[in-house]
Amino acid sequence: MQVIGNPGVDKEDFEFWSLAVSTIGGCGVCLESHEKVLWGAGRIGRPSTRRCGSRRVVNAAAVTLESESALATV
């Protein structure tokens, strides 16, 4: 947990990376949290105007790649 509190990089960069990871992982609670921080810093548009579309695409791509990888080992 200390890494999250003090990641050693610019806070906004960390929030963008965390947003990407949360998108791939499909965690709605985490997505909203990171969007709120970035929106508050003026780095992204209002989160509710972009809700779900890009998240679903990125999450679907991640699940597809994971599935293909799993099937390749069978």
Cα-Cα-Cα-Cα dihedral of 51, 19, 39, 48, to 10°? 10
- 24, 27, 58, 62: the active-site residue: 27
User: Catalytic site residue 52?
Assistant: no
Q: Supply the angle between the helices 28-40 and 11-25 in degrees, to the nearest 10.
A: 150
- 30, 32, 47, 58: the active-site residue: 30
| Residues with catalytic function | 27, 30
